[in-house]
Amino acid sequence: MAVIKLIVDGGAMKPGPTIAQQLGPKGINIGKVIEDINKATVGFKGVKVPVELDVNEKTKKYEIKVSSPPVAELLKKELGLEKGSGEAGKTKIANAGIENIINIAQTKLPNMLARDLKNAVKLVLGSCVSLGILVENKSPVEVISEVNSGKYDSEIKNIKTDISPVKKAELHAYFMKVKAQQEAKAKAEAEAAAAAEAAKAAATAAATPGAAPTPGAATATPATTPEAAKAPAKAEAKPEAKKK
């Protein structure tokens, strides 16, 4: 029995050298394997999926085992994100509904250590923290506390995964406000940093002997004091020669 591990595009695996090199020598129908893998991963379109092939080289039969993608990948797919926030504590990149979280928790539950869907929801919320995703207009940490208190028991029990158009619009509108505030703050911080850098450069130039004067600065010229102006010019007189 040979075990082959692959990472494929969900529902869209294509022939390639990797799969050909591993299956070709074993006499396995590569086209059929790809077709079966695509059927098994069709629910993960647009996401990289871990797949394991258990191949019996004698009988040419195989078994496909599909592992669900990491929670972070599922969150990005669910919310249409390319990547997570580089500064999760500072910059938020999306605003999810509890329905989005339940949907992902239900998908991942078979591969999670969580004992039930409610605990799986909390694990997904934990991933939202590291990615910089708001949930229900709040910090995911706050939503975890609400889940513990039973606020979303009805949605979890009924596995509610659909968001109404009205709620979706409200979540989007709130996030756009957050995004505008983040951009304004980032702009102000960038301007302040630039001003501080300019001031530092000016101070360094002023303290450096022979440094070029700062543009716009007045050029100092020697001044003549009133006392110097009034003082008569002193001519050196040569002593007269004495007549003999």
φ and ψ of 34, to 5 deg: -65, -40
Give the CATH fold of the 71-184 domain. Answer: Arc Repressor Mutant, subunit A (1.10.10)
Going by C-alpha positions, the residue among 72, 74, 78 that lies closest to residue 162 is 78
φ and ψ of 174, to 5 deg: -65, -45
Predicted local distance difference test score (pLDDT) of residue 227: 52
Predicted local distance difference test score (pLDDT) of residue 20: 85
> Per residue in 198-229, pLDDT tens?
999 999 888 877 655 555 544 444 445 545 54
> Per residue in 62-93, pLDDT tens?
899 988 788 998 999 899 998 888 888 889 99
Residue 121 has pLDDT above 80, yes or no: yes
- Tell me the average pLDDT across 174-184: 96
Residue 103 has pLDDT above 90, yes or no: yes
In angstroms, the CA 53 to CA 45 distance is 19
Predicted local distance difference test score (pLDDT) of residue 210: 64
Q: How many CB atoms lie within 10 A of CB 161?
A: 18
φ and ψ of 19, to 5 deg: -70, -35
Beta bridge partners of 185: none
CATH for the stretch 2-66: 3.30.1550.10
**Those residues with Cβ within 8 angstroms of residue 195's Cβ, 6 or more apart along the chain or in another chain:** none
More confident residue, 11 or 210: 11
Predicted local distance difference test score (pLDDT) of residue 236: 46
Predicted local distance difference test score (pLDDT) of residue 244: 43
Domain ranges of the chain: 2-66, 71-184
Amino acid (one-letter) located at 125? L
